[in-house]
Amino acid sequence: MCGIVGFYERSFEENSFEKMNLALNKMRHRGPDDSGIEKFKIDDGILMLGQTRLSIIDLTSGGHQPMSSIDGRYSIIFNGEIYNYRELRDDLKILGYGFRTDSDTEVLLIAWIHWGKSSLRKLIGMFAFCIFDNYDNTLTLVRDAFGIKPFFYNIENGNIRFASELPAILELFQNKPKINIQRSLDYLIYGSYDNNINTFYENILHLLPGHFLKINLDNYENIKQEKWWQPSIKENSDISFNEAASQLRELFLKNIQLHLRSDVPIGAALSGGLDSSAVVCAMRYLYPNMPIHTFSYVAKGSTVDEEKWADIINNHVNAIPHKINVSYDELVKDIDKMINIQGEPFGGTSIYAQYRVYKEARKQGVVVTLDGQGADELLAGYSGYPEGYILSLKERGHYLRGLNFLYNWAKWPGRHLGHSARIFITVMLPISVSKYIRVLLNTNIDNPIWLNKQYLLKNKLKAEPSIFNNSSVDGRKRRLVEQLRSALLGCGLSQLLRHGDRNSMMWSVESRVPFLTIEMAEFLLSLPEHYLLSPQGETKYVFRKAMRGIVPDEILDRKDKIGFQTPENAWLKQLKKEINEWVDINPKDVPFLNLEKIIIELNEIIDGKKKFSSQAWRLINYCRWIQNQSNI
């Protein structure tokens, strides 16, 4: 696990090494164990590649990067882990390749040399890497299937810049890019971020999950972007429910076993929910004598406290538990550090709980954690993505089944018949009718008082909600799994992966997500939809069956879900003293906002005159982020 950075400039600059060192220093937390820089002269230009390393596999200098092939043709910088590197190395040895190290980096490099882009589907792991071919002067930038590892890039005026984190890539600019106002609007109004190619800075982009860029440095305008993975959602109707549960159990245990490969101590983040509990219990099932350290956030005295459920798992596996309880005062003290490490605004204070969990893991000497991220998007978690399920039933002509499902679905905790009615209006009624009703029910969320309407009109700006597009051909009658695929590839999961990556790497901890493998995703997205979300409204239906005998029944039969959530509303009400300071920014930096009305809005929420919403946190977060940008 590491941080990577690189740039190509058509004219050599004397401060090139200084820029690289500044960028690497911004990411030293990602890799405190080693670092390296290499320079390549290309005609009149210069390419520089750098990496800072957190040693996980092969702790020797054999894993040093940048790493070059034996013949010197290829050089690689790599952030991530390849869990099946041993199996791939054996395959490559049979093909005649020799190896100088025990690192997964060398395996990745030789796999690319031999198989090219076909190697990517063979990899089980998380990765963002750059490979330079100095025979034909091409640069290839690659990101893993789910976007577990970050990759930012900028291409303009003949220059190419890229890095694992925004603060690092910003060091490569002579003049800092402008704030992306459209991205800011989408975030502030609808909470949309990390769901497309755009970042909060103009012309700094995300390399999308499952994509690679190939750039010819002799003709930088010849850029080829290709999607290397797009999962099929074609239904496998021949598999029975019990067979599916059995295969899922086997696949999940295989994933856990591979993700436990490490030359440093391993633990697990445990919320008490099904996903993290399954990870911990599978670790114990596979390795009866393995010491298991768990790290749990607890919110004592709060309605979001999960300690009881975490204790059930800790007792079941005889874990070594570590519990983290955080306060409002600690949040205030750490908020700037957390905002800066995230690089961009984020959705809520719950990630502070995660931030503290990883801090405690590192304090206890645990360098790798296994986490349950991605299970909800693969297994129809949260509330079950009922809109997609209902739309599938509608397209199949099963209207009565749809009504029966909505009735049963509404009985579960956190849901009610009002939710079902809205789903019915949205999905089951003709578009013209449902659109009219939605207009009547509009709460004016997309037209808040604190927007500078004149500025938006003048600059032709308008916030756009992130809407699931259910129009793909292969999605007909498979709208639930179509929606899950969309969530996996950027419309939901990307935010959570960003939080986890930055929070864990802040403390030099590698967070692994064993649910997120291509094999598991393709298997689950091929199942009949009612295996994932039952006709009675039960989420993760087939996974609960698969985990019987491994996870305690109390957890499998649990009907609510909380996760790492903080008492955000209560914390916000204590922030009155800080709000005026945090929103005190230069109006020229945010011409699309009315700062006075933001303060009025926040104070009315704090005083109980207006209902709390997550939009309040986003306003605070964004203004404080803007303040901090002036210091970067």
CATH of the domain at 59: 3.60.20.10
With a cut of 60, say whether residue 440 has pLDDT above it: no
Using DSSP's 3-state secondary structure scheme, residue 131 falls into strand
Residue keyed to tokens 């929103």? 583
Query: 213-217, 219-223, 256-260, 264-268: lowest mean pLDDT where?
Result: 219-223
* Contact call for residues 17 and 37 (beta carbons, < 8 A): yes
Q: Does residue 245 lie in a domain region?
A: yes
- 2 flagged as catalytic: yes
Q: Strand 138-143 relative to strand 211-216: parallel, antiparallel, unpaired?
A: antiparallel
Instruction: Specify the amino acid at residue 446.
Output: D
Over range 380-392, report the average pLDDT: 92
Last residue of a domain, one of 533, 556, 579: 556
Residue 93 lies in a domain: yes
Average pLDDT (199-222) is 91
Closest CA to 375 of 260, 451, 278, 506: 278
Please provide residue 391's backbone torsions phi and psi, each rounded to the nearest 5 degrees: -65, -40
With cut-offs at 50, 70 and 90, classify the pLDDT of residue 565: low
**What is the number of H-type helices and E-type strands within the chain?**
26, 17
If asked whether residues 249 and 320 sit together in one domain, one would say yes
Closest CA to 62 of 107, 19, 21, 18: 107
pLDDT of residue 288: 96
Which pair of tokens denotes residue 525?
């997205």
Question: Is 497 within the bounds of a domain?
Answer: yes
Q: Are residues 325 and 183 in the same domain?
A: no
Domain boundary (556, 575, 593) is at 556
pLDDT at 56: 75
Confidence of residue 480 (pLDDT cuts 50, 70, 90): very high
Write down the residue that tokens 């954690």 correspond to. Answer: 369
pLDDT at 551 over 80: yes
How much is the pLDDT for 239? 98
User: Which CATH number belongs to the domain containing residue 362 in this structure?
Assistant: 3.40.50.620
Residue 562 located in a structural domain: no
23: tokens are 């960028």
Is the model's pLDDT at 429 over the cut of 80?
no
Does 388 lie in the same domain as 347?
Answer: no
Taking only the tens place, the pLDDT of each residue in 492-540 is 899 999 999 999 999 999 999 999 999 999 999 999 999 999 999 999 9
Same domain, 390 and 509: no
Same domain, 461 and 533: no
What span, in angstroms and rounded, lies between the C-alpha atoms of 47 and 139? Answer: 10
> Cβ distance 312 to 554 under 8 Å?
yes
**Per-residue pLDDT at 395:** 92
Share of the chain above pLDDT 70, in %: 92
Q: Are residues 246 and 337 in the same domain?
A: yes
Assess if residue 187 is contained within a domain: yes
- Per-residue confidence (pLDDT) for residue 446, from 0 to 100: 61
Determine the Cα–Cα distance for residues 427 and 411; give it in Å rounded to an integer. 20
Structural domain contains residue 269: yes
| Over residues 320-330, mean pLDDT | 89
pLDDT band at 342 (very low <50, low <70, confident <90, very high): very high
Instruction: Choose the catalytic residue: 2, 130, 281, 623.
Output: 2
Same domain, 164 and 282: no
Mean pLDDT estimate for the chain: 90
Confidence bin at 442 (pLDDT 50/70/90) = low
Residue list, annotated binding site for L-glutamine: 104
Q: Tell me if residue 381 falls in helix, strand or coil.
A: coil
pLDDT at 358 (0 to 100): 96
Alpha helices of 262-349 — where are they, by DSSP H? Answer: 274-286, 307-317, 328-342
For 297, the domain range is: 241-378+491-556
User: Do 62 and 75 have their domain in common?
Assistant: yes
Q: What is the pLDDT of residue 470?
A: 66
**Do residues 248 and 327 share a domain?**
yes
Tokens of 619: 């306003």
Residue 72's pLDDT is 93
The structure tokens listed for 501 are: 């990556």
Residues 389 and 481 occupy one common structural domain = yes
Total-model pTM: 0.93
> Which of 54-68, 121-135, 155-169, 223-237 is predicted with the least confidence, judged by mean pLDDT?
54-68
Asked, for residue 561, whether it belongs to a domain, the answer is no
Taking the C-alpha atoms of residue 68 and residue 51, their distance in angstroms, rounded to an integer, is 13
Domain count, the chain: 4
Strand (E) or helix (H) holding 46: strand 45-53
Rg (CA), the chain: 25
Which residue, of 556, 578, 598, is where some domain finishes? 556
Q: For the chain, give the percent of residues with pLDDT over 90.
A: 66
- The number of C-alpha atoms within 13 Å of 262 and in the hemisphere containing its C-beta is 23
pLDDT of res. 621: 92
The per-residue pLDDT for 586 is: 85
- Angle between the N-to-C axes of helices 386-395 and 479-488, in degrees from 0 to 180, rounded to the nearest 10: 140
CB of 507 within 8 A of CB of 358? yes
Query: Is the pLDDT at 40 greater than 90, yes or no?
Result: yes
Shared domain check, 34 and 137:
yes
Asked whether residue 270 falls in the same domain as residue 172, the answer is no
Nearest-angstrom CA–CA distance, 269 and 276: 7
On whether residue 236 sits in a domain, the answer given is no
